[in-house]
Amino acid sequence: MAKNKIFISYRQSDTQSEASRLKENLEEVFGEENVFFDIETLEPGLNFAKAIEKTIQQSAVVLVLIGENWTEVKDEAGNLRLFKEDDWVRKEVALALEMEDIRVIPVLVKDAKKLSPNQLPDNIKSLADYQWAELTIPRWRNDVEKLISSLEKIIPPVKKEPEKKKFVPPPRPKGWWAKNYLWVLGIFVVLIIIGSWPDENFQEDLIDGNGTEQKNQEELTAEELNQLRESNPEETEVYDNLSLSSPNTNEGIVEDISGYWLLSDNQGNTSTLVFNQYVDDFEFIEYNVLNIEIGEGVGSISGNQLSADYYNSLVQVNGKIKLSTSTNGQSWSGTVSFPTLGTSSNIMLQRINP
């Protein structure tokens, strides 16, 4: 049986959001059933230890996501978790390294640095000798594409079935009645108006073209409509014209955010964001008032919520953007935070013309 699974090992307090995003990227290429992510993939009631061990044994690749704090996370007593024998991240890595038929790939996330053997416990020291991959926020798509290119040499991508084109039959040729019934209907309506109006002067005005009132198709009686439908059993144009329009079903759906947006904060600072959207995912580049690139990021939209990982290249700091909209995506408001600095600001996005 071929081993086609990809196991993503990560520490929740270190790279949980990046691991979740990488999982979605890999599923698009290798299929949902072939990418293991413990929080979502494990079914209720399963033994965690046995399930993890079994899945690693079925995997062809184990990706070890290493963030800036991967080796520094401590337990409640202040001990480094990586050096505790019951640490699950350490167990996952050790188990993968023991198996010769598993490709182990350390993945440096954000600004993480390569590890040295003295930073690792004895049973996983060899991890420092493996070839590394990188996932950075500003170059996320390019980095993921490079990683996928390497994985495709080990695991075949899932073949997607081409979309089937819907067959639309050609219109049926129309007979004389189908082509000319609107003219007949118009004459019929005029005769009804003339015959039902008691004022002879109004009839003369109507014939002379000076009348000021007309009877709309919507004012026909039910009996008259039934007569028209019975006399035109094979065509539906009259019925369609007299039907009420359907309500708008797109209300509340966020439109495409691709394009130019003005970002402003409470201090009066402004910049321009240029978005490219890919279904629910997006990427953007930030420019200052001098049209100089000062930042970029990637994120996704869920309902009326927008979240993104942001990198400011001017001050070289990572941040998080959280926005929401109550205007169907015409404007957004929320916060940008910088965890390493311990600061956050209220911001707003307004669409602008380039």
For the chain, give every domain's residue range. 5-151, 259-352
Q: Which pLDDT score is estimated for 214? A: 43
How many CA atoms lie less than 13 Å away from 173 in the CB half-sphere?
Answer: 2
Token pair for residue 339?
A: 């965890």
Place of tokens 């014939």: 207
Collapsing DSSP to helix, strand or coil, 248 comes out as: coil
Collapsing DSSP to helix, strand or coil, 136 comes out as: coil
Q: Which pLDDT score is estimated for 162? A: 53
Do 137 and 284 meet the contact criterion of CB atoms below 8 Å apart? no
Place of tokens 């439109």: 255
CATH of the domain spanning 5-151:
3.40.50.10140
Q: Which pLDDT score is estimated for 200? A: 52
Q: Which pLDDT score is estimated for 8? A: 94
Rounded (10°) angle between helices 140-151 and 12-30: 60
pLDDT along the chain (354 residues), means of 10: 84 88 93 78 59 87 94 90 90 92 94 92 94 91 94 86 49 49 56 55 47 46 59 48 42 70 89 88 89 90 91 86 90 91 90 78
DSSP β-ladder status, 59-66 and 103-109: parallel
Other residues' Cβ atoms within 10 Å of the Cβ of residue 192: 15
CA distance 245 to 85: 67
Superfamily of domain 259-352: Calycin beta-barrel core domain (2.40.128.20)
Please give the DSSP secondary-structure letter assigned to residue 291. S
Place of tokens 């009645």: 177
Other residues' Cβ atoms within 10 Å of the Cβ of residue 75: 11
Q: Is 230 left (phi over 0), alpha (psi -120 to 50) or beta?
A: alpha
Rounded to a whole number of angstroms, the CA Rg of the chain reads 33
> ∠ CA(310), CA(18), CA(296), 5° rounding?
20
CA dihedral 263, 268, 269, 275 (to 10 degrees): 10
Per-residue buried b or exposed e for 216-244, using 16+ beta carbons within 10 Å of the residue's own CB: eeeebeeeeeeebeeebeeeeebeeeeee
Residue type, 259: G
Q: Which pLDDT score is estimated for 303? A: 86
